[in-house]
Amino acid sequence: MPTPPPLPNSRTEPDGSAVVRVLSYNIRSMRDDTTALARVITACAPDLVLIQEAPRFFRWRKKLARLAAASGQVLLTGGATAAGPAILCSLRATVERTEDVLLPLTPGLHRRGFATAVVRIAGARLGVLSCHLSLQKDERHEQAGMLLDRLAGMHAEHAVVGGDLNERPGGPTFRRLAEGLQDCRATAPWGGEYTSTPADPHQRIDAIFATKGIEVLGCGVPLDHPGITEADLRAATDHLPVLAALRIPAA
């Protein structure tokens, strides 16, 4: 397979718009090789890291802060307070506000939540949401509606969502999100497609979505990205990351 062209680097355009690199990554509570995980994140050079399955128990904030520091990021919001989703960011981002949202609990199922923020990068203003949707089909579909409502309530013209959907693109929840948002991988394919599992990639259940006014420059799994090795991808966690380059209009 030929090496994909380089994904555009972060930059500020003369018109005040910003090219932003966004990484979505299920890190399995940092139970695997955290040094490999930090190397993968660092190599992707993201402005925003939308995490799923962040540590939620003993010293969870310290663990997330250490991962952020090791990968050139800072902890923005989320973790246990969002039932797993979290957001890291580079120093390029100026934080306007954050909010962690716990979703209604279905008895017998895992608690879910959203980590959300509004940030400014160069002249652009961007809503950000990290999610990890339910394993149960009906609850997952309801959570997609809550996600879209939450985006609308953030009052940010442009927004990006990253998450582990626990569903493939043909499923009703994935389609519901793709009807209201751009599925960045489908809009501008780049790199690899499948995100699960690193040892046997065969399904796309992790995705990045963007509102319609954002230009998607490329999105996919950074399999042949400089600085990323197959060994690190396999050792870091049980999902492959999704990396996108987006041009966000100036506010």
The model's pLDDT over 191-229, given as tens digits with 9 standing for 90+, comes to 999 999 999 999 999 999 999 999 999 999 999 999 999
CA distance 133 to 122: 31
Q: What is the mean pLDDT of residues 99-120?
A: 96
Concatenated DSSP letters of 132-158: E--SSHHHHHHHHHHHHHHHHHTT-SS
With respect to residue 8, please indicate whether it lies within any of the assigned structural domains. no
What pLDDT was estimated at residue 2? 56
Residue 105: give its domain's CATH number. Answer: 3.60.10.10
pLDDT at 5 (0 to 100): 81
Asked whether residue 245 carries a pLDDT value surpassing 70, the answer given is: yes
pTM above 0.85, yes or no: yes
- Judged against a pLDDT cut of 60, whether residue 1 lies above it is answered with no
Residues of the domain holding 195? 15-248
Residue 2 lies in a domain: no
Q: What is the pLDDT of residue 4?
A: 63
What is the pLDDT, as a whole number, of residue 126?
Answer: 98
Asked if the structure places residue 185 within a domain, the reply is yes
Looking at the structure of the chain, the number of domains it has is 1
User: Is residue 116 in some structural domain?
Assistant: yes
78 vs 112, 116, 130, 152, CA distance in Å? 12, 8, 9, 20
Is the previous residue joined to 35 through a cis bond, with omega within 30 degrees of 0?
no
Distances (CA, A) of 166 to 42, 110, 133, 184: 26, 13, 6, 17
